[in-house]
């Protein structure tokens, strides 16, 4: 069984996204899994960390992180357990095999993007032309594959994202909002395609998955079973599918529940 999971706001959480409630004295113990600019950035609860370490070494399971992060950003994360054999970065733009980007997969992605969607330069120019300095904080490209903006959400005009999505649709691109980031991503660039390739190489005949954003929808739809937390873009949109469980838990508690669900699937498969 291949177990594919988004990372940010699905398994790992920034301090702002942990969603801790109740008295501080009752807060769960946390494990820092990412440091950036000499400061702790991303966390798991210690319970989730122990569960994930068990999953990473479980017989009959192949755990695959599937993230929109670049390879450099993914490299900052140190998850419990052994390093995964496969990882998906840049929303499917890179398939890492033992930590190295697979060149055959890179060529496949490059050919699909050239054939099926507008070039990155055109989309980036549109983003910069239509954004306003009153709410735009940063503009970035990732791995020369897609673009994103960091914005002040309080000042962002209500219709701007909708207008951008309409413009991008006809050019083969999709738009996703995650926290302060607005992503413009080519539609052929998907986590599901890279996970499917990882499953083929691993010899997996079943895929289970989890994710919280619209960029994870294709991964969840392609999986045999999936989970989404009670927060995030998918929850806000009321997104659902018959084989995807919509959890009530939010924040770090959802991360724990997702890993428990993964382990349950692995155990059930072994029993069968």
Of 259, 261, 254, 258, the residue nearest 21 (C-alpha): 254
What is the distance between the alpha carbons of residues 112 and 110, in angstroms, rounded to a whole number?
6
- Residue 215: per-residue pLDDT: 92
The per-residue pLDDT for 81 is: 94
DSSP reduced 3-state for 55: helix
Q: How far is CA 42 from CA 30, 165, 272, in A?
A: 10, 29, 36
Q: Where residue 270 falls among pLDDT bands split at 50, 70, 90? A: confident
- Closest Cα to residue 8, out of 29, 33, 30, 28? 33
The token duo for 26 is 């009752």
Q: Write out pLDDT tens, residues 152-207.
A: 999 999 899 999 999 999 999 999 998 899 999 999 999 999 999 999 999 999 99
Which residue carries 């069984």 as its tokens? 1
Q: How many Cβ atoms from other residues are within 10 Å of residue 83's Cβ?
A: 11
CA 238 to chain centre: 18
pLDDT the model gives residue 224: 98
- SS3 assignment, position 241: strand
What digits encode the pLDDT tens for the residues 216-257? 999 999 999 999 999 999 999 999 999 999 999 999 999 999
- Residues 32-50: tens digit of each pLDDT: 999 999 999 999 999 999 9
With cut-offs at 50, 70 and 90, classify the pLDDT of residue 21: confident
Q: Is the pLDDT of residue 271 over 90?
A: no
Quickly tell me which residue has 């055959």 as its tokens. 104
What value does the mean pLDDT of the chain take? 96
* CA-angle at 13, arms to 246 and 251, nearest 5°: 35
């Amino acid at each position: 069984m291949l177990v594919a999971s988004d990372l940010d706001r699905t398994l790992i959480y920034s301090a702002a996204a942990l969603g801790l409630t109740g008295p501080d004295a009752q807060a769960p113990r946390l494990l820092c899994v990412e440091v950036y600019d000499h400061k702790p950035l991303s966390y798991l609860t210690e319970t989730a960390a122990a569960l994930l370490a068990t999953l990473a070494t479980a017989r009959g399971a192949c755990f695959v992180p599937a993230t929109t992060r670049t390879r450099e950003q993914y490299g900052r994360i140190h998850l419990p357990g052994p390093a995964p054999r496969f990882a998906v970065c840049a929303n499917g733009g890179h398939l890492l095999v033992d930590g190295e980007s697979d060149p055959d997969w890179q060529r496949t992605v490059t050919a699909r993007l050239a054939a099926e969607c507008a070039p990155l330069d055109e989309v980036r120019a549109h983003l910069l032309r239509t954004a306003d300095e009153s709410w735009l904080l940063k503009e970035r490209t990732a791995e020369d594959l897609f673009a994103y903006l960091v914005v002040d959400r309080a000042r962002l005009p209500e219709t701007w994202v909708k207008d951008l999505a309409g413009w991008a649709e006809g050019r083969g691109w999709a738009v996703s909002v995650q926290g302060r980031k607005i992503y413009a991503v080519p539609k052929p660039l998907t986590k599901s395609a890279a996970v499917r390739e990882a499953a083929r190489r691993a010899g997996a005949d079943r895929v289970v998955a989890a994710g919280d954003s619209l960029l994870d929808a294709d991964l969840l739809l392609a999986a045999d079973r999936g989970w989404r937390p009670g927060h995030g873009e998918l929850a806000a949109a009321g997104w659902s599918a018959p084989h995807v469980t919509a959890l009530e838990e939010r924040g770090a508690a959802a991360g724990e529940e997702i890993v428990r669900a993964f382990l349950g699937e692995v155990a059930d498969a072994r029993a069968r």
